[in-house]
Chains A and B, each alone.
Chain A
């Protein structure tokens, strides 16, 4: 669509009216990249790219161009993809920033509003593209994601923040709302939140770095910047007092995004609640937010609930715990969320927000899950899911569901999954809810990615209970349906991750589905995933192998290792990604469950290489790897005499074991003690153990060194080498007896 005639205000307005609201017109315009460049050029150099007809002005050309560009960035992620790509290549966001950084007093409010809006729309589009979104999964636009991420990062450079953050103090509500809305969406990572919460206006920054006397240490001065949560947090808190509901809503959104997972800001905002009861105090931010929860405007009320949730969940110490703290905040928020979720008169978009807010409220907090459950949240969520699902026909999703209903379904299922993740009673109730289980099962094949993802998360929560794995997941077909998702190579990466998390729980020895999955290509699929680019999928694949190998037959172990490859295991045992390395050690530990298996391990990996893998792992600071390596060694110590001797001969390893016995936490001391005990039973190892000084260490552990043998060791005992764990002390005593007895028989 190359435009021949020159660009004028009239042509821009016609263009604007043809694209606003019209996705196909936008797509068509976006394909004409050279024209998009011209449009972006009009933002700052209208004289170069356009013609100013009599009766119109350069400013109007710029404003209309801004509106067209903003419109191109609006739409669902799938439809906005092409528009976003062209706008990124034309550097539209830089053009807006340039204009905003060169504002004079001459520009009209309409101009400032249009350009602020343009920046906002683009920034939000970048953030939605890069993720994570607050409101569920968005389609992954991999082609554009990288460029969008880069563009998003530039928005948080100090010199760029200096351009748009001060606009939060603008007199025009439209401009303030635009910036606040922009922050709501773009503050999606810790790095960005920190940059914004620590931002100061340039003048204050200069003062702060110099300090009052010019020679103060910078880190002392830093704390002043963070008072009140920082300049931006203070400004947003002040905006909460506005009478304009749109300003309130936008400020709540931005404040919530700033406080999310940001304990510095959240704690400051919560600090004066409930201790400070000064009415009208400008620092009681959380109190103001809670008051706004009761707003009659539903959008404001929900925004306030989300903001309060983020503040309360991220602040330290926690004010929300029903057991100890004042749970006014939790009750207020939960009451409103339950009401909106259960209200069929509310729009799906509103109910979706309430469901996601509930998700954030309870996620990964066992007490809050119970709190919400006891107040009927699960019932409400089940009702929502049932009410939006047609019951008259089988659920095949042939007739496409509207986007809004699918989003609501995703939100409700996400909240159900979060509620059931930590508590068996809640899990059981979900598992026994036949209609809900039917819908979850059907949702696993829903066309909407987010719905499939949240359905997998529900099954994951259920699969944490052995009884459920043995019964409901089998009877309902839910387990095998997830397995189907897991096998699908074309599935979305995030859904695959969720499905693989379920599989980790279904491969245990007590699971009736294990043999079925083994027959249907489980091992081959897991091996594929270990080679994935996605770290999460690799981790889950290893986790699944680890669970699969536990208490499995030697034959199964052999089948797994034939497929996975011993060399793969070797390289994983020195993997730089420590999370993956930990799984590798855990796998090796499960591989060494019998004397025969120990032999296999030594043979396949080689005795010396195997011990060389273990040695550094016993010296690491990483507690998880240390634990697994110690457990592996303890299992290896159950091997044949020859294997025991080779272990005991390795002085580096034995030195590490000895220090583990004394210095490590009790989870590590237990397998260390088992290892030593097993080795001590072998007469060929006893001398080496004595030479390494194990007898004196064991003696100290049993409190035989100091003379007074008390029934229960003193609290300080452990620090003096005395063992306070009964099980460990017993093993130490037994091992010591063997070493001392052995001395006399040699």
Chain B
């Protein structure tokens, strides 16, 4: 195995500084992130401060933002109505997404302790989805298992996590991506794509060299 080339910190930093990245490029990256993730107010303010015109109009961002907020407060019906107003094709052409939303609705019933309604909903709405698309069955089973545990502490991680805020965010993220895709905007913010590229590049270089890596921890990243 060939020896890895060691790259010293000073050398590394020197090379990094040589890469030309303008402030405008950085601003556009941030704007792109805010638009895609649907942070309308932040995008508006940032647009003024940085003197950047946004790539899309703010109303369309607002539409997606409202949907995200509806899901984050657990109002799945409202989210579905808004998605259909924005583009009635999305849920008709994306059975997996529709299932995800109905699953979320079931979770909300359970979270609120409305067990009888949850059972009826599961029987009338979710069971048919499982019949139409057998690949949804494992997820459906997990969600039904929630009913069995009735928010008891002994539920396994994969089931109790359904009640966490992360699940709402996950659903919201999937809906957001589907909407963006239907309007032929990028599904993923360029910032996220860059991070992926960075990680890939590092793993490639790792095979041949020792160098200071970017640390993606909870705290401030060090260079």
A interface residues with partner B (beta carbon < 8 Å): 13, 16-17, 20-24, 67, 70-71, 74-76, 79, 117, 244-246, 399-403
Chain B residues 133 to 158 lying within 8 A of chain A, measured CB to CB, are: 133-135
How many contacts between A and B, using CB within 8 angstroms?
A: 47
Contact (A16, B92) CB under 8 Å given A22-B125, A23-B128: no
- In the complex, the answer to whether A246 meets B184 with C-beta atoms within 8 Å is yes
Instruction: Name the residue in A24, A245, A401 with the highest tally of chain B Cβ atoms < 10 Å from its Cβ.
Output: A24
- In the complex, the answer to whether A21 meets B81 with C-beta atoms within 8 Å is no
Contact of B80 among A17, A79, A244, A400 (CB under 8 A): A17
Contact of B95 with A by CB under 8 A: yes
- In the complex, the answer to whether B98 meets A22 with C-beta atoms within 8 Å is yes
Q: When each residue 6-33 of chain B gets 1 if its CB lies under 8 Å from chain A and 0 otherwise, what string results?
A: 0000000000000000000000000000
Q: When each residue 203-220 of chain B gets 1 if its CB lies under 8 Å from chain A and 0 otherwise, what string results?
A: 000000000000000000
Q: How far is the CA of A71 from the CA of B134 in the complex (A)?
A: 22
- B113 neighbours in A (Cβ, 8 Å): none
- A75 neighbours in B (Cβ, 8 Å): 92
Query: What class of interface size applies to chain B in its complex with A?
Result: 20 to 34
Contact of B135 among A71, A76, A245, A402 (CB under 8 A): A402
Q: How far is the CA of A24 from the CA of B99 in the complex (A)?
A: 13
Contact of B117 with A by CB under 8 A: no
- B133 neighbours in A (Cβ, 8 Å): 402-403
Contact of B88 among A16, A23, A403 (CB under 8 A): A16
Q: When each residue 68-102 of chain B gets 1 if its CB lies under 8 Å from chain A and 0 otherwise, what string results?
A: 00000000010011001000110111110010010
Interface of A is mostly: helix
Interface of B is mostly: helix
- In the complex, the answer to whether B88 meets A67 with C-beta atoms within 8 Å is yes
Ranked nearest first, the 3 interchain pairs of A and B with the lowest CB-CB distance are A21-B98, A21-B91, A402-B135
- A70 neighbours in B (Cβ, 8 Å): 88, 92
B interface residues with partner A (beta carbon < 8 Å): 77, 80-81, 84, 88-89, 91-95, 98, 101, 125, 128, 132-135, 184
Contact (A74, B184) CB under 8 Å given A22-B98, A402-B133: no
- A246 neighbours in B (Cβ, 8 Å): 184
* Nearest Cβ on chain B to A345's Cβ, whole angstroms: 12
Q: How far is the CA of A741 from the CA of B95 in the complex (A)?
A: 86
Q: How far is the CA of A117 from the CA of B135 in the complex (A)?
A: 30
- B84 neighbours in A (Cβ, 8 Å): 16-17, 20, 67
* Nearest Cβ on chain B to A59's Cβ, whole angstroms: 15
Contact (A74, B134) CB under 8 Å given A17-B81, A20-B88: no
Contact (A74, B93) CB under 8 Å given A16-B84, A67-B88, A400-B134: yes
* Nearest Cβ on chain B to A723's Cβ, whole angstroms: 67
Task: List 11 interface pairs A-B (beta carbons < 8 Å), by A numbering.
Answer: A16-B84, A17-B77, A17-B81, A17-B84, A21-B92, A22-B125, A67-B84, A71-B92, A74-B93, A76-B132, A246-B184
- B92 neighbours in A (Cβ, 8 Å): 20-21, 70-71, 74-75
- In the complex, the answer to whether B184 meets A71 with C-beta atoms within 8 Å is no
- A17 neighbours in B (Cβ, 8 Å): 77, 80-81, 84
- A245 neighbours in B (Cβ, 8 Å): 184
Contact of A21 among B77, B95, B134, B135 (CB under 8 A): B95
- In the complex, the answer to whether A23 meets B132 with C-beta atoms within 8 Å is yes
* Nearest Cβ on chain B to A15's Cβ, whole angstroms: 11
> Looking across the interface, which residue of chain A has its beta carbon closest to that of B128?
A24
> Looking across the interface, which residue of chain B has its beta carbon closest to that of A76?
B132
> Looking across the interface, which residue of chain B has its beta carbon closest to that of A117?
B89
- A20 neighbours in B (Cβ, 8 Å): 80, 84, 88, 91-92
Q: A17-B77, A402-B133 are known; give 11 further A-B pairs, CB within 8 A.
A: A17-B80, A20-B92, A21-B94, A21-B95, A23-B128, A67-B88, A71-B88, A74-B93, A246-B184, A402-B135, A403-B133
